[in-house]
């Protein structure tokens, strides 16, 4: 049974501007160390940062306004086959257990200017 769905789109230059303006402080407020490391292993980290931010926003939309989830409690990593998955921490982990949410399906994509993410929460 579907608990919630969420979608988010972000302009990649918006992420670039935020990082250039606030630097490491911004990155650490939004992303985990593993996410930052993964994105900065790319020649251009901003598309990867942007889609991870979009996943976090889409997940929050799927949850609804029922609870505040810190962005760093939502970690986007890659599975063994390279597919993006959500690793839950802190309040998100507790919320998913409390609501019996068994799967967080995500799909991400980016092109030159935009990144997009879609999340489906399933019980």
Catalytic residue (choose from 89, 91, 93, 110): 110
23: phi > 0 → left, psi -120 to 50 → alpha, else beta; which?
left
**110 is known as an active-site residue:** yes
**61 is known as an active-site residue:** yes
Long-range contacts of 35-43 (CB under 8 A, 24+ apart): 35/75, 35/76, 35/77, 38/77, 38/78
Catalytic residue (choose from 56, 61, 99, 103): 61
Active site residues: 61, 110
């Amino acid at each position: 049974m579907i608990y919630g769905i969420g979608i988010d789109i972000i302009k990649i230059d918006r992420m670039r501007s935020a990082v250039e303006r606030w630097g490491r402080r911004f990155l650490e407020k939004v992303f985990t160390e593993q996410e930052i490391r993964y994105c900065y292993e790319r020649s251009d980290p901003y598309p990867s940062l942007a889609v991870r931010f979009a996943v976090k926003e889409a997940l929050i939309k799927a949850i609804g306004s029922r609870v505040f989830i810190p962005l760093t409690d939502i970690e986007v990593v890659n599975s063994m086959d390279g597919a993006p998955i959500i690793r839950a921490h802190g309040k998100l982990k507790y919320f998913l257990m409390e609501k019996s949410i068994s799967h967080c399906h995500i799909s991400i994509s980016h092109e030159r200017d935009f990144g997009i993410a879609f999340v489906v929460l399933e019980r």
